[in-house]
Structure formats: C-alpha cells, structure tokens
C-alpha cells in the first residue's frame, strides 16, 4: 500500500482513521482490503497447518498479486482523494489517466496549465 500511496503523490502519514504516525494513511488504505486479503490468508494458513509467519506472508503476497490489489488501491486512492473543484483538461485524450497532472510554472490561472506526471523534466525542458 505504501508504494501505491507514493505512486499517486499522496502522503503516507496523511491518515484519516489512523493518526499520529508516519504510516497512518498506509494503514487506512490497508484496512480497505483487510477482510478480503489478510484475514482469509491468515485463517487459510492456520487451517492448512502452515501457521508460520512466513507462510502467512506468502499467502498475503499471493492474494495481493492474484487480486491485482495495487492497481485497485491506486484507483481507490484517487477516488477517495478526488477533488471536485479540479479544472477539466482541455484535451482529455492527451492525458495518461494513470498519472496525475503537475502544475507548470507560468500557466494561466484560468487553465489547468498541467504537464503529465511521471516524467523527468530536467533543467533543459521548457515548462
């Protein structure tokens, strides 16, 4: 979950339910999937006679992979943090919806003025 939160540019310490520590938002997002992932993995491991910590960890890993949980988490994080006041992009076809927009220096206040995130913009790039 930490990777998904960082991928969308959110703060791992943001926290809504869990507060007061550096990974509060990670715990909030993980709780969304606890009943679907970690609890069944733990009970299945114990029921199958594999009650070791490493067996449970592998079972959770397998569930996360099978459910494509990181993709879902990114989508859910965007949905949870959705800003209804965000200005529409003029050409939605030109924007990769998997990356957030970044504000560029010198953009007009009345336009989105964004550039695609997920790109390294060096000093030689004109923003």
Per-residue confidence at 31, pLDDT binned at 50, 70, 90? very high
User: How high is the pLDDT of residue 114?
Assistant: 62
Classify 10 as helix, strand or coil: coil
Tokens describing residue 59: 């079972």
Q: Please list, in sequence order, all residues whose beta carbon lies within 8 angstroms of the beta carbon of residue 26, skipping any fewer than 6 positions away.
A: 1, 2, 5, 12
Higher pLDDT, 71 or 115: 71
CATH topology of domain 2-82: 1.20.120
| pLDDT tens digits, 45-55 | 888 777 788 88
User: How high is the pLDDT of residue 124?
Assistant: 61
| Segments making up each domain of the chain, as ranges | 2-82, 88-127
Mean pLDDT value of segment 66-74: 91
Closest alpha carbon to 12 in 82, 83, 22:
22
Residue 95: pLDDT over 80: no
| pLDDT tens digits, 7-21 | 888 999 988 888 889
Decide: 95 and 74 in contact? Cβ < 8 Å: no
User: How high is the pLDDT of residue 102?
Assistant: 60
Per the DSSP assignment, residues forming a β-bridge with 114 are 103
**Cα(120)–Cα(9) distance, rounded to whole angstroms?**
15
What's this model's pTM, rounded to 2 decimal places? 0.59
């Amino acid at each position: 979950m930490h990777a998904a939160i960082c991928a969308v540019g959110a703060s791992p310490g943001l926290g809504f339910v869990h507060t007061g520590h550096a990974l509060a938002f990670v715990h909030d997002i993980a709780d969304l999937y606890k009943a679907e992932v970690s609890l069944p993995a733990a009970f299945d491991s114990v029921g199958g006679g594999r009650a070791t910590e490493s067996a449970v960890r592998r079972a959770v890993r397998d569930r996360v992979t099978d459910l494509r949980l990181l993709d879902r988490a990114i989508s859910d994080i965007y949905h949870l943090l959705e800003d209804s006041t965000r200005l529409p992009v003029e050409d939605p076809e030109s924007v990769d919806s998997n990356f957030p927009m970044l504000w560029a220096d010198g953009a007009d206040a009345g336009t989105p003025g964004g550039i695609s995130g997920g790109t390294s913009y060096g000093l030689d790039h004109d923003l």
